[in-house]
C-alpha cells in the first residue's frame, strides 16, 4: 500500500525518545503528528509571503490571497464539495459546530423545536446545543446505543417529529471507534425534511469522505487531526443552507459595506470569516490534505484497519481486558480497561515506557455514564503506526499489570 518506514521518515518527531525509550505515539485521535511538508509550508509561507489576505493591492497580499483561496480549493476537492463557497475556514471542529449551532438555531428554530444528537457525541457536539437550548428554548433528543457501541437506528427513526429541525451526529466516535452509518442516517433525516450536520473530526483523517455522496448538509472537521496544524478547521455547508444562515461573528472581511445606518454582509464564504483569518494555517492544512491524498485515503483506511484488528485480537488475549466499542464498522480507536487498574495509572505507567495513550472521559462524559465508568485508556492509530507498536502496547500493558 505504502512504505511505512519511508512514511515514518516524513515525521521527524517519531524518531525521538521519551524517558530514554523510543516514542510509541498512540494518541492520534487527540492530535496527529505533522509531516515535514506541513511544517516547512508554515515556515515558507511566513518567510516568503506573509501578508493579510483579501485586503491589499500589493504583491504579497495578492499572493497570500491566492494561496489562501487555493487552499480552499484543495479542501473543496478533498471532501468533494460543489464549490469553494461551501468551504468556511474556522479554528476547528469545535468552532465549526458552535458557528452552526448559533446561526442555525437562532435563525431557523423556535422554542420547543428539536435537535437530534447521539449518546456517543463529543462534548463539542453537545454543549453548543445546550447553550442554544438555554438561550432559545430548543430541546435535545438523544439516539441511544447498544453495548457494542452502535447506534440504535430504530430508536433514531422514532425520535423524528414535526418539531425536529436538525440532526447533528458524529461520523466516527472518538472513544468507541464506531463508524456510524451516516449516509443512511442522512437519508432517513431527509425523508423527514431535516438537514444533517456530520462531525467529521475522527473520520476525515482516516477515510474518504465525500459530502455529495453522503448528501451531508454540513460537515465539521479539524486540521490538527489530519496531520495539519492546530488552530485551523473547516465547516462545510451546502450553499443554499449557508446562504440562508446569518453570520456567526462580525467585524472586518465579513462585510460588503458598512455605514452607521446599514451594514451589508459579504458573500459566501466570507460572510462567515470575520477578522484576519489564519491563512497560513489554511495553506498548511492544504499541504496536509495533499500529503494524505498522495498516500491514498483508502490505503490509510486499510492500514489502520489492519492495526485495529490486530490490536483487538492481541488485547483480548490479556486477562481481565474489557474493550469498549466492538462495532463491526470500527476505525482505529481502541478504548479499554484492565482488571481493577485505574485508567490514569495505566496511562501514566505506559507513558514511562514511552507509550503515549489518552486516559479519562475523552470529552464524552454522557458516553461514560452510559457504560457506568469514569474513563478508559484509549489507543488511537495514525497512518504511521506499525504492528510492532501494537506489540509494544500489549507488552507495556502486561508489564503494568505485573506492577499491580
Closer residue to ligand C6P, CB minimum distance, 160 or 177: 177
- Find, among 201, 185, 206, 173, the residue nearest to 96 by Cα: 201
* Residue tagged 476537492 (cell numbers): 77
363 carries an active-site annotation: yes
Piece of 89-97, 150-158, 177-185, 315-323 that binds ligand C6P (CB under 6 A)? 89-97
Does residue 356 touch ligand C6P according to CB under 6 A?
Answer: no
In whole angstroms, the minimum distance from the beta carbon of 246 to ligand C6P comes to 22
In whole angstroms, the minimum distance from the beta carbon of 117 to ligand C6P comes to 11
Strands (E), 136-276: 139-143, 164-170, 196-199, 218-222, 233-237, 255-258, 263-265
x/- map, 120-139, ligand C6P, by CB under 6 A: --x-x---------------
In this structure, are strands 233-237 and 218-222 parallel, antiparallel, or unpaired?
antiparallel
Which of 152, 363, 368, 373 contacts ligand C6P by CB under 6 A?
A: 363
Q: Return the C-alpha cell found at 271.
A: 460572510
Q: Give the footprint of ligand C6P on residues 15-54 (CB under 6 A).
A: 29-30
Quick one: residue 221, left, alpha or beta (phi over 0 = left, psi -120 to 50 = alpha)? beta
In three-state secondary structure terms, 313 is helix
Distance CA 283, CA 68 (A): 6
In whole angstroms, the minimum distance from the beta carbon of 170 to ligand C6P comes to 5
Does residue 94 touch ligand C6P according to CB under 6 A?
Answer: yes
x/- map, 264-303, ligand C6P, by CB under 6 A: ----------------------------------------
Closer residue to ligand C6P, CB minimum distance, 142 or 363: 363
Q: How many residues bind ligand C6P (CB under 6 A)?
A: 16
Which of 92, 149, 195, 347 contacts ligand C6P by CB under 6 A?
A: 92
Distance CA 232, CA 220 (A): 11
Do 210 and 80 contact (CB within 8 A), yes or no? Answer: yes
Closer residue to ligand C6P, CB minimum distance, 136 or 363: 363
Which of 201, 216, 334, 394 contacts ligand C6P by CB under 6 A?
A: 201
Does residue 67 touch ligand C6P according to CB under 6 A?
Answer: no
Q: Return the C-alpha cell found at 365.
A: 462524559
C-alpha triplet 325, 329, 335: angle, nearest 5°: 25
Does residue 76 touch ligand C6P according to CB under 6 A?
Answer: no
* Residue tagged 423556535 (cell numbers): 110
Distance CA 234, CA 95 (A): 9
Distance CA 143, CA 28 (A): 27
In whole angstroms, the minimum distance from the beta carbon of 16 to ligand C6P comes to 21
Which of 32, 65, 202, 376 contacts ligand C6P by CB under 6 A?
A: 202
Do 156 and 181 contact (CB within 8 A), yes or no? Answer: no
Distance CA 55, CA 64 (A): 10
CA 79, 358, 17, 401: dihedral to nearest 10 degrees?
A: -140
Which of 170, 207, 280, 283 contacts ligand C6P by CB under 6 A?
A: 170
Tally Cβ neighbours within 10 Å of residue 18: 15
Piece of 156-164, 237-245, 273-281, 358-366 that binds ligand C6P (CB under 6 A)? 358-366
Distance CA 376, CA 173 (A): 14
In whole angstroms, the minimum distance from the beta carbon of 256 to ligand C6P comes to 30
> Which of 4, 255, 363, 373 does the annotation list as catalytic?
363
Catalytic residues: 363
**Which residues lie near ligand C6P (CB under 6 A)?**
29-30, 92-94, 122, 124, 170, 174, 199, 201-202, 222, 358, 362-363
Amino acid at each position: 500500500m505504502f512504505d511505512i518506514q519511508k512514511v515514518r521518515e516524513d515525521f521527524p518527531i517519531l524518531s525521538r525518545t521519551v524517558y530514554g525509550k523510543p516514542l510509541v505515539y498512540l494518541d492520534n485521535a487527540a492530535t496527529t503528528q505533522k509531516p515535514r511538508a506541513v511544517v516547512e509550508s508554515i515556515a515558507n509561507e511566513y518567510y516568503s509571503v506573509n501578508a493579510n489576505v483579501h485586503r491589499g493591492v500589493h504583491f504579497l497580499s495578492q499572493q497570500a490571497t491566492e494561496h489562501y483561496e487555493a487552499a480552499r480549493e484543495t479542501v473543496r476537492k478533498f471532501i468533494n464539495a460543489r464549490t469553494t463557497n461551501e468551504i468556511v475556514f474556522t479554528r476547528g471542529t469545535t468552532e465549526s459546530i458552535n458557528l452552526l449551532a448559533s446561526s442555525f438555531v437562532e435563525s431557523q428554530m423556535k422554542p420547543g423545536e428539536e435537535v437530534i444528537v447521539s449518546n456517543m457525541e463529543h462534548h463539542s457536539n453537545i454543549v453548543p446545543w445546550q447553550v442554544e437550548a438555554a438561550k432559545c428554548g430548543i430541546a435535545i433528543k438523544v439516539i441511544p446505543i447498544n453495548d457494542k457501541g452502535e447506534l440504535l437506528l430504530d430508536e433514531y427513526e422514532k425520535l423524528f417529529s414535526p418539531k425536529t429541525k436538525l440532526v447533528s451526529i458524529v461520523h466516527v466516535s472518538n472513544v468507541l471507534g464506531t463508524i456510524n452509518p451516516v449516509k443512511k442516517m442522512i437519508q432517513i433525516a431527509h425523508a423527514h425534511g431535516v438537514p444533517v450536520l456530520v462531525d467529521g473530526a475522527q473520520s476525515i483523517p482516516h477515510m474518504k469522505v465525500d459530502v455529495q455522496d453522503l448528501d451531508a448538509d454540513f460537515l465539521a472537521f479539524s486540521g490538527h487531526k489530519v496531520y495539519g496544524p492546530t488552530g485551523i478547521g473547516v465547516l462545510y455547508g451546502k450553499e443554499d443552507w449557508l446562504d440562508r444562515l446569518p453570520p456567526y461573528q462580525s467585524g472586518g472581511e465579513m462585510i460588503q459595506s458598512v455605514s452607521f445606518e446599514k451594514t451589508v454582509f459579504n458573500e459566501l464564504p466570507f460572510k462567515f470569516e470575520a477578522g484576519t483569518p489564519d491563512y497560513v494555517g489554511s495553506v498548511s492544512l492544504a499541504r496536509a490534505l495533499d500529503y494524505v491524498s498522495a498516500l491514498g485515503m483508502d490505503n490509510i483506511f486499510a492500514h489502520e484497519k489492519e492495526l485495529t484488528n490486530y490490536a483487538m485480537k492481541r488485547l483480548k488475549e490479556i486477562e481481565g481486558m474489557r474493550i469498549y466499542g466492538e462495532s463491526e464498522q470500527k476505525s482505529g480507536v481502541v478504548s479499554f480497561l484492565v482488571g481493577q487498574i485505574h485508567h490514569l495509572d495505566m496511562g501514566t505507567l505506559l507513558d514511562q515506557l514511552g507509550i503515549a495513550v489518552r486516559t479519562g472521559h475523552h470529552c464524552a462524559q454522557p458516553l461514560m455514564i452510559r457504560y457506568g465508568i469514569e474513563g478508559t485508556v484509549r489507543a488511537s492509530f495514525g497512518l504511521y503506526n506499525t504492528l510492532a507498536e501494537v506489540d509494544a502496547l500489549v507488552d507495556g500493558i502486561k508489564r503494568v499489570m505485573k506492577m499491580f
